Structure formats: C-alpha cells, structure tokens
C-alpha cells in the first residue's frame, strides 16, 4: 500500500503571527502543499495546492485535516483560498486511509460522472488591427489543432494576456469584478521579441512570450486576493497565437529579428453564467481602459509572412 507522509514547518514569524507551510507526500513524492497562518488563536489558510494528477483523490482533505490536528489549540477559520473553494470539497478522511481499488473507483465514475471545474478569468485584450493578416496567418493550415464542437482551439481570434485564471465564480459578482478592473487597471504596453511554445500530449500552444513587468505582476497580486485555485504557482505571461497539433509547435519558436510593441487597452472578466445548463458558454465583462479610443498600432513581425 502506498505510504503517505507529511511535513510541517514555520517559514516566518512576526508580531505573534506564525506563517506556516505543510506538505503531503506519496511514497516520498510531493503531492500538495498548504500555506496557513496561526494568529490570535485562529488558523486560516492562505493557499492550498494539489498537483493536477492527484486531485479529487482526498489528498487536499488529508492535508487540511493534518494541519488542524497539528494545531489543536487554534480554531480553524475559513478564508478565501481554503477547502471551501469551487474545485476543492473537504471530505472526512483518515490521514492514513488506504486508496480504493480500481474496480471501486471505476464503478463510482459510472455512478457519478466527473466534471471539469469551470473558473473565471481576468485578462487584458490587445489592440492589434492586423492580427489575422500578420500573426495567425503565419500558422500552416495543416498544423492547426481543431476539436469538434469546441471553438476554444484553432487560431486565436482575440489576442490577450491572462492576468489570473482560476477565479471561483460562485464567490464573486461580475459587476463588482468590472468595477475592480476599472479602478485598478491602466493600459499596458509590452515589447514582444520571441515566439515560444507550450508542448502537450493533445496539442501544442504557439504563443508570444511576454515580459513579466512590474505592472502585470501588480495586477496579478491584486486579483490573487479574490478566491481562486491555481494549478501552477509560477506566472508566465504570454499571448496565444494558435493551438497546433502535438509536435508541430516547436518549428514556430524563434527570436524575432524585429521586436514589436503591443498595447493592451481593455480589462476583461470572463465567466460561465450558466454552469448547470450550458457549462461551456462564457460571458465577458469588458472595460475600456483608455478615455479616448486610440488607433490600433501596426504590430507587424517581420518573421511571420502574410499567407497567400
């Protein structure tokens, strides 16, 4: 039977507050972590993370139970990024409980079909008038990845940079999100100098790598205070060009001979208004960040020829 172990340590302390981090391991391999705070007799969670391949198997619940038992004198107080989040439902499990057999797991999947969580997203739309002519046109038609009945793939039609994906839609008001965009955000201008690729089993993502500026990091830090779930702790801003078939993305990766600038002039909150009846449909709250509309700039990279 696989062996589950835990670690727990204080990573910072000041003014009577203890900032702690605990981890859960399976046969010595890290599975998940939780950052939490002990202060004034209360335990509150700052962030919980479980690796994608280990989710919905009770590891997060075990980790939450572990830190509560390790700190019996502290009262657990639900906070923004805890086990109450949309993607994490706390289960009553034993810390050393064994795993169910494959037959039982398969039977439960037939009885209760698993559904992918739907999250909200904060992004900034780019102001590029020649996007199709000089950017997506450089992707060969035979390379494009298409998924039937799902228009999320193929050539990107709306160039943007994601600020934060993973927002718990049930815990926020779209109108309030729009007000936050208008209050905190200003237009962002970035210089693009290279094309990168995310390689995957189902598809590759061809994208412009964007510099992580202080302005982008500031916006991400602000919206991270909203209840959210993160699969990857590191932030790598980018602007998707296209989804292509696996193995085809690497031929598009390059350093651009002539870097170009892109203006991001709109703040956007995207969410799923009807998860029960139409889970794939999204709505967008768009805020114009410039008082007077500017003409889109000619962002023409010399390395992407116009398709004939």
Min mean pLDDT across 97-101, 143-147, 168-172, 186-190 is at 97-101
CATH for 4-111 (1.10.287, 3.40.630, 1.20.140, 1.10.3470): 3.40.630
Cα dihedral 230, 120, 280, 274, rounded to 10, equals: 130
For the domain with range 120-288, which CATH number is right: 2.40.30.10, 3.30.70.360, 3.90.1150.10, 3.90.1140.10? 3.90.1140.10
Report domain extents, the chain.
4-111, 120-288
Question: How far is 108 from 225, CA to CA, in rounded Å?
Answer: 35
CB 95 within 8 A of CB 22: no
**The pLDDT value given to residue 95:** 52
Cβ–Cβ < 8 Å for 186, 291? no
Q: For the chain, what is the radius of gyration of the CA atoms?
A: 22
Residue 45's contacts (CB-CB under 8 Å, 6 or more residues apart) are: 34, 35, 36, 37, 64, 78, 79, 81, 82, 83
* Confidence band, pLDDT 50/70/90 cuts, at residue 149: low
Tokens in use for 182?
A: 């208008």
pLDDT at residue 103, as a whole number? 40
To the question of pTM greater than 0.75 for the whole model, the response is no
């Amino acid at each position: 039977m696989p062996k589950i172990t835990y670690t727990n340590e204080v990573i910072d302390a000041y003014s009577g507050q203890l900032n702690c981090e605990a981890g859960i391991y399976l046969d010595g391999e890290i599975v998940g972590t939780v950052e939490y705070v002990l202060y004034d007799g209360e335990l509150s969670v700052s962030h919980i993370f479980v690796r994608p391949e280990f989710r919905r198997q009770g590891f997060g619940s075990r980790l939450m139970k572990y830190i509560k038992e390790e700190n019996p004198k502290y009262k657990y107080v639900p906070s923004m990024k805890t086990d109450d989040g949309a993607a994490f439902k706390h289960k009553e499990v034993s810390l050393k409980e064994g795993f169910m057999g494959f037959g039982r797991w398969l039977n439960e999947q037939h009885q209760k079909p698993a559904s992918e969580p739907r999250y909200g997203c904060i992004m900034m739309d780019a102001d590029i008038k020649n996007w199709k002519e000089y950017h997506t046109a450089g992707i060969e038609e035979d390379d494009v990845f298409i998924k039937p009945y799902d228009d999320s793939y193929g050539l990107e039609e709306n160039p943007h940079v994601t600020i934060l994906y993973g927002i718990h839609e049930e815990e926020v008001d779209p109108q309030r999100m729009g007000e936050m965009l208008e209050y905190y955000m200003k237009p962002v201008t970035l210089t693009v100098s290279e094309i990168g690729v995310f390689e995957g089993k189902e598809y590759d993502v061809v994208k412009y790598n964007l510099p992580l500026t202080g302005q982008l990091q500031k916006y991400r830090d602000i919206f991270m205070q909203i209840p959210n779930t993160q699969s990857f702790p590191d932030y790598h801003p980018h602007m998707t060009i296209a989804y292509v078939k696996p193995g085809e993305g690497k031929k598009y990766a390059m350093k651009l001979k002539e870097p170009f600038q892109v203006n991001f002039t709109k703040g956007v909150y995207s969410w799923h208004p009807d998860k029960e009846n139409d889970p794939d449909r999204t709505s967008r709250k768009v805020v114009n960040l410039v008082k007077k509309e500017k003409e889109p700039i000619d962002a023409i990279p010399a390395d992407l020829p116009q398709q004939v």
